[in-house]
Amino acid sequence: MTRNERQTAFATAFILLITYLCAPVAVHAQSDGVILWNRLGSDAEVMNSEIGAGFGIHADSLGGVLYVPGKFGNALATTGGENGGGGYLTISPDLFYPADRTRGTIEMWIQKRIQRFIPFQTPLVAIFGDQLYDGPFGPNSIMVYWSDGYSGLGGLEFDITDGSNNHHKANDLGWDDVPVGQWVHVAFVWDLAGIDGSVDTMRIYRDGVVVGSHTNPIPNVLDDSLIQVKLLTNHAYSRFGQPTAYLDNIIVWDQAKTNFCHRFNENPASPPELSALISGKSGPQNARVWTLTLANKYCPAENAQIDGLTLTQTYGAACTPVITSPAAFPLSLGNIPASGTASGAVTLDFSGCANSARFSVTIAFSANNGAVTGSKTLNNQFR
């Protein structure tokens, strides 16, 4: 290799190295089925999603977006001007919607700041997608906006446009009666093959309950890869001049979700929340039966079990309780639904322990094949 060839090779390698080092690196959490999760609490958060691509921030002479106290941390507030001006978030539809657009779920928390929209008096707010009156390309193929009953059918309107430019709609007509200032969880679900085997192709969930649906077949979803998705923008915002809605913790799934037990936690990968207690004691001193109960707070727990029971004496003449049943742990409790409980029995021999003996008792437990683990220590326990 000549000197010039070596210099050229070195320069090329150096440029490649600099390009690699200077390229933006995104390190995101992972959650099965989630393609985008953003906390929406600050400029840094909206531009750097926890999962998936970040949003861009659109601003004009009125400034950018606003942040207010949210359901979790801070939340995004509407700003804007005539015909979609002002501050809002933007993202490519190919980074926002599932790659297979025949099914998906988009969920978030919303707080209303006005009771209802009045035609020609208050602005129309787009939750995601685009405004009905924005250009130059027209609305997105999948969009949700707060209708005033003149533009749209009323309430929260969920709209899917197919390849023939036909609009398929589901409406939460009770949205206008939701109290102002209350955080509400909403989810927009679609599956062209039928949601969970039903005839519903579109659904709106509010606080985990179906409040609107669409049952007509949808042949396909319009390809709108060139039309930017706008998040929380308004048409004719200047009619009102203050935020009309707050938005927090948006999550996009590549599947049609029907269970939103995870909504009470910011992280979409929320596991079951288990706690343990001794719910009963019976039987003689040498065969004392303790009933150990696991209570589950939110999402269903699978294959729950008691992994161990440890007694540490804290008061009284020394004695050694013996666990006679089960012969070995774990003690299987099976599946526990959300807000449910499951119990199992442990038999102990307290022979030689005085009535005054006291113990610190630690119950170890797990569920979801070891993905969920925990323990509970109960003090001042006696036989």
Residue with tokens 């924005």: 134
Asked, for residue 1, whether it belongs to a domain, the answer is no
Domain identity same for 45 and 135: yes
Question: Among 367, 343, 335, 356, which residue's Cα sits nearest to residue 289?
Answer: 343
Chain mean pLDDT for the chain: 84
Of the residues 231, 264, 297, the one at which a domain ends: 264
Q: What type of residue sits at position 115? A: Q
> Cα–Cα distance between 381 and 360 in angstroms, integer?
6
Lowest mean pLDDT among 51-60, 165-174, 262-271, 340-349: 262-271
Asked, for residue 11, whether it belongs to a domain, the answer is no
Domain identity same for 346 and 304: yes
Asked, for residue 28, whether it belongs to a domain, the answer is no
CATH number, domain containing residue 49: 2.60.120.200
> Cα–Cα distance between 71 and 233 in angstroms, integer?
20
Domain identity same for 128 and 244: yes
Question: CA 163, 167, 172, 178 torsion: positive or negative?
Answer: positive
Q: Categorize the per-residue pLDDT at 151 as very low, low, confident or very high, splitting at 50, 70 and 90.
A: confident
Domain identity same for 330 and 185: no
CATH number, domain containing residue 357: 2.60.40.10
Q: How many domains does the chain have?
A: 2
Domain identity same for 258 and 307: no
Asked, for residue 305, whether it belongs to a domain, the answer is yes
Q: Taking 50 as the threshold, does the pLDDT of residue 30 lie above it? A: no
Helix (H) or strand (E) holding 13: helix 3-22
Q: How far, in Å, are 6, 12, 13, 15, 170 from residue 3 at the CA level?
A: 5, 14, 15, 18, 70
Q: Taking 70 as the threshold, does the pLDDT of residue 163 lie above it? A: yes
Asked, for residue 180, whether it belongs to a domain, the answer is yes
Question: Among 119, 58, 120, which residue's Cα sits nearest to residue 89?
Answer: 58
Asked, for residue 24, whether it belongs to a domain, the answer is no
Q: What does the pLDDT read at residue 364?
A: 96
Domain coverage including residue 334:
274-381
Predicted TM-score of the model (pTM): 0.74
Q: Taking 50 as the threshold, does the pLDDT of residue 277 lie above it? A: yes
Of the residues 264, 286, 304, the one at which a domain ends: 264
Question: CA 328, 333, 334, 338 torsion: positive or negative?
Answer: negative
Q: What does the pLDDT read at residue 123?
A: 67
Condensed to tens digits (0 to 9), the pLDDT of residues 337-376 reads 888 999 999 999 999 899 899 999 999 999 988 888 899 9
Domain identity same for 120 and 235: yes
Q: Categorize the per-residue pLDDT at 132 as very low, low, confident or very high, splitting at 50, 70 and 90.
A: low
* 140 vs 41, residue with greater confidence: 41
Asked, for residue 288, whether it belongs to a domain, the answer is yes
* 60 vs 94, residue with greater confidence: 94
Q: Taking 70 as the threshold, does the pLDDT of residue 126 lie above it? A: yes
Q: What does the pLDDT read at residue 20?
A: 29
Domain identity same for 235 and 298: no
Mean pLDDT value across residues 172-177 = 94
Q: Categorize the per-residue pLDDT at 102 as very low, low, confident or very high, splitting at 50, 70 and 90.
A: very high
Of the residues 264, 286, 312, the one at which a domain ends: 264
Question: Among 334, 341, 288, which residue's Cα sits nearest to residue 311?
Answer: 288
Domain identity same for 145 and 285: no
